[in-house]
Amino acid sequence: MATLMPENQSAAKPRRRWRFALIAIYFTKVLDSLPKRIVKKSIPEMSTGSYVSIQIQNANKDDNSGHDELVLSFDNVDQRMLIDMVRDKDYERLHQFGGAKQLAELLQTEEKHGINGDEADLIRRRNVFGSNEYTKPPRKGFLSFVLEASKDTTIIILLICAALSLGFGIKEEGPREGWYDGGSIIVAIVLIVAVSSISNFRQSGQFRKFSNESSDIRVQVVRQGRRQPVSIFGLVVGDIVFLNIGDQVPADGLFLEGHSLKVDESSMTGESDPVEINEKDNRFLFSGTKVSDGFGTMLVTSVGMNTAWGEMMSSIRRDLDEQTPLQARLDKLASTIGKLGLAVAVMVLVVLFIRYFTGNIEDDSGKKEFNGSKTRIDDLMNSIVHLVSAAVTVLVIAIPEGLPMAVTLTLAYSMRRMMTDQALVRKLSACETMGSVTTICTDKTGTLTLNKMKVVEFWLENEVVKDETYRGIAPNVVELLKQGVGLNTTGSVCKQPSMLVPEISGSPTETAILTWAVVDLGMDIDEQKLSFEILRVEAFNSQKKRSGVLVNRVTDKTIHIHWKGAAEIILAMCSHCYNKSGIVEEISDEKRVHFGGIIRGMAAKSLRCIAFAYKQTQQEKLEETGMILLGLVGLKDPCRPRVRRAVEACRDAGVNVKMITGDNIFTAKAIAMECGILKPDEDFNNAVVEGVTFRNYSHDERMDKIDVIRVMARSSPFDKLLMVQSLKKKGHVVAVTGDGTNDAPALKEADIGLSMGIQGTEVAKESSDIVILDDNFASVVTVLKWGRCVYNNLQKFIQFQLTINVAALGINFVAAIASGKVPLTAVQLLWVNLIQDTFAALALATEQPTNDLLSKPPIGRSKPLITNIMWRNLISQALFQISVLLILQYKGRSIFGINEKVNNTLIFNTFVLCQVFNEFNARNMDKKNKLFFKGLLKNRLFVGIIGITIALQVMMVEFLEKFANTERLDWGQWGFCVGLAALSWPIDWLVKCLPVSAK
């Protein structure tokens, strides 16, 4: 139903004629809809009256113009009606709009040319109908991270101790002097919580940003007559979108035209069976569903939050805090160390209590701190608070709280850097798992090759046709080839008056064939489509490796069949062939063998061979036998420039590379040799296998040969899945590349699924863990390097942190047992905790990958997190630090002639400087640090953090004596501390000379 809006002012005679015409149309529509209303009384009344505003304006106000222009506006189109129409699959409302094509006109969309698409048009459509973006839950605020960091049990205990110490201190010494002990602990705690919260807040923002980037997909639309890719977020109501197998439906809309289109609506309805979309039974398409078969175009009617998917997405937040397997292992490690630290802290507390209450602890003046009943309650409570605080700080230094932060930092850093290296991480666990990969199963097209195809050979019967000999081909053969290309394609040819060369779009294969037909054969695709009516289409898929079309010629109503696909498959469908003169000849056995030789010859030159076949028929059935072969084309897709070097890098890293392709066995061999996957002296009988042979192996036979196979040709998606499953059963950690919808099972089954960002379908991307943005195998090797770097950086930090834990526990435990006092105070240990938890994590977790990482064997599934090499390094450094600090604890005063406070400052200063020098040792765990600064300038953050740590340590000792409970040191004492700490370098060099079993 349409409602006429009142006109402005009185209309002239031409406008009266328009008004009478519209009134007549209106009453006709009312009368037409009355019988339907009587029959369909059960249809509920719509909540909003439907109306379409048609503004009739005089385009030329000059009365002498002689004509008026009808200008349509959708400013007042009922948006709710559009939304409900698609959501409810309501044909009644669609009929009230006049059908899909009439609705397109109301939305100012031309079926062939799309919307205007200029900036003003896009802004107007977004203002009226909204943008194609989903409202997301608000980001966690900074205060929530502060609250999470403050909930730590040890932090709470320390705050209680600090509050008690602050209270007793002020009571005893007054506000001016009594706040130092308790206040210092509070300041240190605030600093730790603040640094931790800021770091986690920033990483959360980065993960959210990566989530947004992974959601930004490209869709093909037509605007101003040009087919072009746009961001899914840039889609507007009225856009015409092209849909192919594997695409995600980007918005709610209506089917316009296409063939064999089927959509997986399981994400919306839960039903796993594909839903057929066509003009007659079901035109409605929902955002978020996936195209499982066929192709077509759709008219966008609702976007963003106005779609059913938008409402669902607004209530779902992607889990950005997912815990990776390595994080789980580190949590378990931290828990074990924490329990050990708790046991030590309890023992220290018990020993301190025993020594205190037995009168074996003295104050600074040498008097016993506890004198039985003579001890004041205030003194007693103050002493107990100090003892508990000392025990709790032992626990603080024992718990490796920096481990989760180190994982977060290194994952966030690696994700950001991998993005610049053409890899978008969709799952955090992929960053670390990639370092364990032992086998990579890769596609050929676009991954090992450039995916820039070009027709370089054309064979007609037994003769190759050169550029200058195209004129010698019979006109009827040329015409059939034009039909076979122009009608049986999912690509498009756009000819603009301002363009000298037509703009051709589609898949690389379709683009190459269309370019050949337009340039060499002189094909006009619009003429072909106007001359024929398409009756049925079988879309190309990776299993059948062919596509077909059944058409009806408009002029004589004759029915024709055209097939296109893999040469040997099309050849098997043919019984006859055309020669150059346009005469049909039977394909004899000898000629069939000859055609097979032509196909193998092109394959040996790394060409993809495509055949065209034709047949005229009487039945409206897409027949597959008795076809006439039109010709063969060879498409060249050159190998990527760096792919051979990348394959060799994988082999040096102990990673096997297997090529799985749909091409025939000869093309697969040629490409594999060109890329370095196969070597000339290799036994091809065992290294190369076809998919059908592989799937027909027995289980035992397959497991025996799986490690030897390098290339699998003519493979189906099931063969790829079977390969992945077999490799995993053999204990391999498998990475798989894929770009098609049918690759989704293999991508999900693999330990790491790598989808292609350019040619990959949205189904493949959603099934993958990492998206390779440039479709380049060299980027896969870069991801492998980053995966090993993540694991290696975390191991460096674990070694560094455990060294501090062991050394601090050892010195405080021995000192507490022996003398009843701990040399490292609460504030000092909290400062060390800040060094190890935050600064060291930043310094070591952001080391960049080096080529040395690819010279090591894969980590595999079962290798322990803390290796024997790490144990060797950390135990040696911890023993060195404990020995030095204990000597200073008991002999320092007599050696240097200093008081206890200066001696404790020497111990604290030497301990911190030992960690600074040990950070350099941790940069390379298994090699002697002959060049301590090798590659140091590449990590400026490391240099900066070392500088900040030293500067803050100088401040702690020289300027914050009361805060840190230290005394100022002279130049000689500073030199002694630095020299003593620097001994960790030669000790590390000597220790790394000791051989350690890798097992």
Tell me which residue of 215, 206, 221 sits closest to 256, measured CA to CA: 221
Identify the CA nearest to 819 among candidates 909, 884, 904. Answer: 904
Closest listed residue to residue 777, CA positions, set 431, 330, 279, 444: 444
DSSP string, 838-872: IIHHHHHHTPPP-GGGGGSPP-TTT--SS-HHHHH
Q: Which residues are bridge partners to 772 per DSSP?
A: 423, 756
Cα 170 to its chain centre, rounded Å, is: 56
- Catalytic (active site) residue 443: yes
Which residue in 726, 760, 725 sits closest to 744, CA to CA? 760
Q: Which of 547, 100, 663, 662 is nearest to 293 (CA)?
A: 547
Q: Give me the catalytic one of 443, 663, 719, 837.
A: 443
Give counts: helices (H), strands (E), the chain: 36, 26
Residue 32 and residue 27: Cα distance in Å, rounded? 8
B/e letters for 321-346, b = 16+ CB within 10 Å, e = fewer, are: eeebebbebbeebbeebbeebbebbe
The tokens describing 433, both together, are 């798992």
Burial class (CB in 10 A: 0-12, 13-18, 19+), 578: buried
992 phi, psi to nearest 5 deg: -75, -5
Q: Which residues pair with 219 in a beta bridge?
A: 230
Two tokens at 277? 């979309």
**Could you give the 3-state DSSP secondary structure of residue 78?**
coil
CA distance linking residue 387 with residue 352, whole number of Å: 7
Q: What share of the chain is helix, strand, coil (3-state, %, to 5)?
A: 55, 15, 30
Distance of CA 13 to the CA centre of its chain: 64
Structure tokens given for 686: 């065992």
| Rounded Cα gap, residues 32 and 12, in angstroms | 30
Q: Are strands 584-586 and 574-578 parallel, antiparallel or unpaired?
A: antiparallel
Distance (Å, whole) CA 310 – CA 130:
12
Which is it for strands 439-442 and 734-738: parallel, antiparallel or unpaired?
parallel
**Radius of gyration (C-alpha) of the chain in whole angstroms:** 38
Contacts by 324-330 with C-beta closer than 8 Å and gap 24+?
324/407, 324/411, 324/428, 324/429, 324/431, 324/432, 325/429, 325/432, 325/433, 326/407, 326/429, 326/432, 326/791, 326/794, 326/865, 327/404, 327/407, 329/865, 330/403, 330/404, 330/407, 330/794, 330/798, 330/865
| DSSP 8-state assignment for residue 99 | S
Q: Which residues, in sequence order, are CB contacts of 819 under 8 Å at separation 6+?
A: 889
Task: Please give the structure tokens belonging to residue 573.
Answer: 């469908």
Beta strand 532-538 pairing with 574-578: unpaired
Given a contact cutoff of 8 angstroms between Cβ atoms, the answer to whether 229 and 247 are in contact is: no
- Indicate which residues carry an active-site annotation: 443
